[in-house]
Each structure stands twice: as structure tokens, then as C-alpha cells.
A = this chain, B = another copy of it.
Amino acid sequence: MPNYTAPVEDMMFLFDKLRNNKNYNEIEKYKEVNSELVKNILDEAAKINQNIILPLAKIGDENPTVLENGIVRTPPGYKEAYTKFIEDGWTSLSCDPKYGGQGMPKTVSAFFDEMLSSASLSFKLYSELSIGAYNCINHHASEEIKDKYLPKMVEGKWSGTMCLTEPVCGTDLGLLKTKAEEQKDGTYKINGQKIFITSGDHDLTENIIHLVIARATDSPKGTKGISLFLVPKFKVNHDGSLGQRNGISTGSIESKMGIKGSATCVLNFDDAVGYMIGPKNKGLNSMFTMMNLERIVVGIQGLGISETAYQNSLSYAKERKQGKTNSSKSSNGADIIIEHADIRRSLLNMKSIIEGERALCFWLSQQTEVSLYHSDEAIRKEASDYVSLMTPVVKTMFTDLGMEITSDAMQVHGGYGYTKDQGIEQLYRDNRITPIYEGTNSVQALDLVFRKLVNKNGDIIDKYLNMIRNDFNKSGQKIKPFIDDFNNSLDTLNKFTLWIKDKLNNSKDDASAACNDYLKALGFVSIAHSWIKVLEICFEDYDNNKTFYEDKIQTAKFYFKRVLPRAENHFKTASTGSDYIMNFKFN
């Protein structure tokens, strides 16, 4: 089983030193969320994740969730852990105090999301989708529905799901077939089949609140005829107690490569009673609130699993002896492998990506809060544009790099990485879902290029690039080489951006064939931007915490020399166009 120690020090560094963002500081409701409070929360979070949730990972992999006589049973120990988890209030961390939540900002809850992903992604998914459903209901449902459903969801006694995918529609929701027929009492009868429903059924909570997209019988075809419905597993009486079972059954659960402790369900809706949430035929809009936040969390999953992979690679590399280094002092016998240049390179690659991602994620959490809660609408809107721009980037970069990191972790472990004993191969298998679900990374890249760069809100990418170009307070001798490297990559990204904007107007296929590369280039530069923000603190505050800051500076050095330059190749190959791709005749 892998070990895991929550990186509380790094998280507190971000919270203490990088929180100082004017817009974020102006959000009234977070003014009391101070360093001491957050440190306490993270320390407690570290305990439950390290001690109680981490062991569930292997248990869940060896005892996958099963469907027995129509009932989905989670792996041994999940129920006990979940009971403790909700008793300690972890489902309520970021929820509104009005419904019993603790009202913590995403700057804090994102750390918790990371820790939980590091400990057990399968276990995490049971509460994660509940938070997604909570957010969606909280933003779009009537007060009556909110009062009825949210307190139990915040408490964690009820969980939630997002029911989008159907056999013929994954990415392309316009094809969906699930029907909603309006009844005289204003409720709907839902009929259809949903697949790949994470936590679609399980034995951890008393009720499951499904958010289902479906087409009302009188709605138009395509995406413009989709509405959103709340469909509970058990109907809820007026007094809030549970009523009869609704018309929802679990057809089957998927047998998967990884996250075997998570139930991925086929759900059949047969005359299930549903309640419309938000305006009719605007279901996709309502769902996207939830999906965008969820996509960022999927990115965080990749980050969390990467952290566990790194920690275990590091400790293995310090123990395992093989081969002699170039400067070996051992006259006989081998050196520990952490002394080998190529192993060090691999470990630093992991570390520099992980810490850069964590800093970027912290920045994005701040922007998310500003976009939701700042008092000035213009500021909210600007932050919202940044969040929407960075959502596909974080989802894709963190999950793809998560595969790179878990794969490199296997290589560090050699043959032991491929066998089940060490649990490294499980990290690799579990993480492999993250580039797929919530929209494949290819779809994220299309979303970025075709919908996020320039849209009805303006030239978002231009605003973002200008912002990061001028976002430096410090220009000392020591930070200069980093800023020079950064500016070089930013120049490339600028060229790439001009190129792709031109193609969006004049040659869409070139843009489509380039979107994956563009996302990567933007991602590497965005992470570098976060590294620069970190470096400013390191040089400024150096004497107060030399060891910590020196570690950061040296880690950053690796990122700027070995990781960031990858951006350039993405531009080079993508800008060769697409005629040779589009004209190809596949046999």
C-alpha cells in the first residue's frame, strides 16, 4: 500500500503567502477565514485522509463495488469510513452555512479535494458528485427545493449524482433520448437510460438525489430542448422524511480498469418522478455550472494522485540500491537510486509539475471565489472569464501530467511498479479515468479553443495573456532568469494565439487539429506563471525560511529548464496545419 503524508506545509505556504490578492481579499464573507483556522482544518483533514481513507484505496481495488439483487454494495470499510467522514463534517466544508455548511472558500476546499484524491479517488467520488449536485441545486433550484434537499446533502446523509451520458450520447448531449413528460401537478415522469453514472447507486447514504438532463415531450430536438430535473432515489415527503422508492433501478455496474471501489452505474428511469430545476430547455446551462466546477475538481484529482505517486517514488528511490553513479564512492555494492541522475530528473519532473499545479490551482480557487462572491459585477465577470478559460486547461493538464507522473513512478519502481504489492500500478490505473470523464481531454481542448478564447464576453485570452505578462511585482537579479524564460515561452504562446485566432476565422480545421497542442502550450505557461508568483515570495521572504524557499527555487529551476520549453514544440508541430490530416483517406 502506498504511503501518503498530506503536504500541509506547502498548502499553508500558498494560503499564507499567495492569498494576498486584492479582489479576493475584498470578499466579505471570507475575511474571518484566517491562517490558524485553515491550519487546523488541514491538520484534521490530513489525519482522516492518512489514517482512515488511504487504506480504503487498496481495499476498494481488491473488493470492487458489486451489484447484488439490485443493490449496489460498496467495498468493506467504506460505510464505516463514510459515517465518520460525514460526522466530522467533511461533506459540508464548502457549503453554505444556511444549509448547515461550514462556508469555507475553494482556496481551502480545493486542498481537501487534493488530499482526498491522494488518499482514495474511489472513495472520494461518493461525496464529490454530491457537492457538484449541491452547487447546481443551490444555484438553480427554487427555495422550496433547496430547503427540502440541501440540508441532508450538506450533512452527507443524502448524496447526489449528475446523469448526463446515454449510450449514444457522451460528448454530444444534443442526441439524448431520455424523455420528461409533464404531469398535472407540475412534476415530470422521467423515462430513459443513463450510463456511466458515478455513484449512481450505493449503500452509503439514505437517499440519492439524481440531477438528470432530459427532453420534455414538447421541447425541440438538439441541445436547445434539454431541461434539468431533480429525481430522488426515494421520494421525499412534505415533512422531509423518506417516502416510496422512485422509478429508478440500477441496470448494471461497469467493470473498469481502475477506481473499482467507485460504482459506475447504468440507471434505468421508468416513470420516475422528477422536478424541473431552472428554466425549461435551459438544462445544459444549469448543468454547466456544476460541470465546470467539477472539471476543475477532476484536474485536482490528477494533482492529488500525482502527489501520492511522487511521495512513494521518492521514498523508494531513497531505499533501493542498484548500479553505481558516475561519482560512486562505493568500492563494491550499489548506490541508492536517488543518486542516479536519471532518477533525480524523473523525481524533479514530478515535483516541479505538482507544486506548480498546486499554485495554479490555488490562484484558480481564488478567481472562482471572486467570480461568485465579489460585490463588483465587473470584477466578478472578469474572474469568471479567467475561470472559464482555465477550466479545460486545469482539467486536461493536471490529468495528462498525472498519467506522466504515475507512469514515471512505475518506472522508478521497476518490476515492483507493475505488481500489485506496492500499489503504484493502482495509482496509474485509477488516474487513467481522469483524462476521460467529465469530457475527454480532446473535448476540453476543443472547448478551450472554440468557446473560451474569444467569445461573447470578449477576447478572454488576450486579457489573460496581458494579465500574466504584467503580473510581476519584483524584478531582482535572482528572479530575472526565470522571468526571461517565462517571457520567451509567453512570446511563443502569443504567436500561437495569433495563429489560432486567425485559423478560427479562416481555417477551422487547422484550429481543430491544433487545439490539443494549444491547450498544452497554454497550460505549461500558466503553470509557469504560478511558479513566478511563488518565486517572488521566495526571493522576497528568503531569509525567513531559507530551507523551504531554497527547495522551491531549485524545483522551479527544473520546471523552467526542462518542463516549460515543451510549449514551443506544441506550437511548431500544430502550426503545420491540417490539410494533410483532413485529406487523408483512411482505409
Contact = CB atoms under 8 A, between A and B. Distances in A.
Contacts of A348: 581, 584
A228 interface: no
A301 to B, nearest CB: 14
A333 B176 CA distance: 10
Given A411-B440, A415-B436, 16 more contacts: A170-B322, A170-B414, A256-B418, A256-B420, A340-B512, A341-B581, A342-B442, A342-B516, A346-B442, A348-B584, A429-B429, A550-B585, A551-B585, A558-B580, A565-B572, A566-B569
A338 interface: yes
Contacts of A565: 569, 572-573
Q: So how many copies of this chain end up in the complex?
A: 2
Interface in A390-446: 403, 407, 410-411, 414-415, 417-421, 425, 428-429, 432-433, 435-437, 440-442, 445-446
A513 B341 contact: yes
Contacts of A340: 512
A580 B583 CA distance: 46
A537 interface: no
A557 interface: yes
B418 A433 contact: yes
B585 A557 contact: no
A33 interface: no
Given A569-B568, A573-B561, A516 B345 contact: yes
A21 interface: no
A429 B420 CA distance: 13
Interface in A314-345: 314, 318, 321-323, 325-327, 332-334, 338, 340-345
Contacts of A142: none
A174 B328 CA distance: 15
A96 interface: no
A522 interface: no
Contacts of A557: 580
Interface of A: 165, 168-172, 174-175, 195-196, 221-222, 254-258, 264, 314, 318, 321-323, 325-327, 332-334, 338, 340-348, 403, 407, 410-411, 414-415, 417-421, 425, 428-429, 432-433, 435-437, 440-442, 445-446, 508-509, 512-513, 515-516, 550-551, 554-555, 557-558, 561-562, 565-566, 568-569, 572-573, 576, 578, 580-587
Which 4 pairs from chain A and chain B are nearest by CB? A341-B512, A326-B508, A257-B425, A341-B513
A569 to B, nearest CB: 4
A419 to B, nearest CB: 5
B323 A171 contact: yes
Nearest to A512: B341
B165 A322 contact: no
Nearest to A577: B561
A346 B512 CA distance: 12
Nearest to A196: B415
B569 A419 contact: no
A443 to B, nearest CB: 8
